């Protein structure tokens, strides 16, 4: 399972505009509210997400229906750019719980950055069960933002390009990544980012998989591309070091081998899934 995917919830978007029905669902004795510590998850003794009854007061977002159970999350304030303790908890959380929490975190964080209307500057208020904000001045509707990001392995003669940013934990290396800009496709963004960050031209960009990333709200699209050369010209404003890793090196890192040449990305990051895909699926 790719990290932050597999939430077992029917988003029931057809109910979002039905405020009376949402109020009924929230008042339902079986309804559940996700517990949060700021924007971090709260877990029970089993490492599962913790839930409480739905308070009658306070803003909330409607996450959807888990079978018959209406799920909500509190519309708390918190800085979505701060990661808090989430990484430590995510390592042992079931994928479906991480996915549900991740979606809630992204949506809640979006609210905090969109309290005012970008078009006219007036205050906005939530609507659609939390899946939008409406401007009290000009009436413009605003919808949750998801930022598409490409994350990719350039491949050359059986090795892939890995790099580290200065803020990574010691020995951690990962795939290159960058935001998709207006006016470019996924494939064009992959080629541009590898060119900008490593000075390498690529061809044959192939999409592999995707994941939502809740820090604060990206859609990560993982790709593999064929590098035309291997001499690196790293963008040292973004990257500290880069190297071409062999299948054996990547396999050792994914296995957590003590003598691995680098520390792999955490399992809930799609960079991990992408490296695993490359080791297992891309033998040619």
Interface with a second copy (CB under 8 A): 2, 4-5, 7, 11, 13-14, 99-100, 102-104, 106-107, 110, 112-123, 131, 140, 142-148, 179-188, 192, 196, 207, 209-212, 214, 217, 219, 221, 235
Task: Using the minimum distance from each CB to a second copy, give the nearer residue, 103 or 253.
Answer: 103
Task: Using the minimum distance from each CB to a second copy, give the nearer residue, 238 or 262.
Answer: 238
CA quadruple 157, 160, 161, 162: dihedral sign: negative
Q: In the bound complex, what is the minimum distance in angstroms from residue 263's beta carbon to a second copy?
A: 25
Task: Using the minimum distance from each CB to a second copy, give the nearer residue, 260 or 271.
Answer: 271
Q: In the bound complex, what is the minimum distance in angstroms from residue 138's beta carbon to a second copy?
A: 10
Residue 88: CB atoms within 10 Å: 10
Give the phi and the psi of residue 196 in degrees, each rounded to 5: -65, -45
Task: Using the minimum distance from each CB to a second copy, give the nearer residue, 254 or 270.
Answer: 270
- Distance in angstroms (rounded) separating the CA atoms of residues 146 and 42: 24
CB contact burial 243-276 (16+ within 10 A = b; e otherwise): ebbebebbbbbbeeeeebbbbbbeebbbbbbbbb
Q: In the bound complex, what is the minimum distance in angstroms from residue 191's beta carbon to a second copy?
A: 11
Q: In the bound complex, what is the minimum distance in angstroms from residue 248's beta carbon to a second copy?
A: 29
- Both structure tokens of 52: 């409480």
Q: In the bound complex, what is the minimum distance in angstroms from residue 114's beta carbon to a second copy?
A: 4
Closest CA to 103 of 221, 222, 5, 180: 5
CA dist 108 to 75, 153, 215, 263, Å? 6, 32, 11, 32
Task: Using the minimum distance from each CB to a second copy, give the nearer residue, 78 or 172.
Answer: 78
């Amino acid at each position: 399972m790719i990290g932050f995917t597999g939430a077992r919830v029917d988003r029931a978007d057809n109910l979002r505009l039905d405020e009376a029905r949402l109020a009924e669902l929230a008042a339902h004795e079986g309804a559940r509210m996700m517990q949060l510590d700021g924007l971090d998850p709260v877990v029970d003794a089993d490492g599962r997400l913790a839930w409480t009854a739905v308070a009658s007061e306070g803003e909330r977002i409607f996450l959807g229906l888990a079978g018959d159970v209406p799920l909500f999350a509190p519309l708390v304030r918190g800085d979505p750019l701060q990661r808090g303790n989430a990484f430590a908890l995510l390592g042992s959380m079931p994928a479906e719980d991480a996915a549900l929490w991740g979606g809630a975190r992204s949506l809640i964080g979006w609210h905090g950055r969109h309290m005012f209307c970008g078009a006219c500057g007036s205050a906005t208020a939530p609507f659609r069960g939390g899946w939008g904000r409406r401007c009290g001045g000009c009436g413009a509707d605003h919808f949750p933002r998801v930022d598409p990001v490409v994350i990719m392995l350039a491949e050359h003669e059986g090795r892939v390009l890995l790099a580290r940013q200065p803020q990574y934990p010691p020995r951690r290396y990962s795939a290159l990544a960058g935001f998709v800009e207006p006016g470019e496709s996924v494939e064009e963004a992959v080629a541009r980012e590898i060119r900008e960050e490593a000075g390498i031209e690529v061809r044959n960009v192939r999409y592999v998989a995707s994941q939502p990333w809740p820090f604060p709200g990206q859609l990560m699209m993982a790709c593999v591309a064929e590098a035309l050369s291997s001499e690196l010209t790293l963008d040292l404003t973004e990257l500290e070091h880069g190297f071409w890793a062999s299948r054996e090196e990547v396999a050792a890192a994914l296995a957590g081998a003590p003598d691995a040449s680098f520390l792999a990305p955490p399992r809930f990051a799609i960079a991990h899934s992408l490296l695993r895909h490359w080791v297992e699926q891309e033998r040619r």
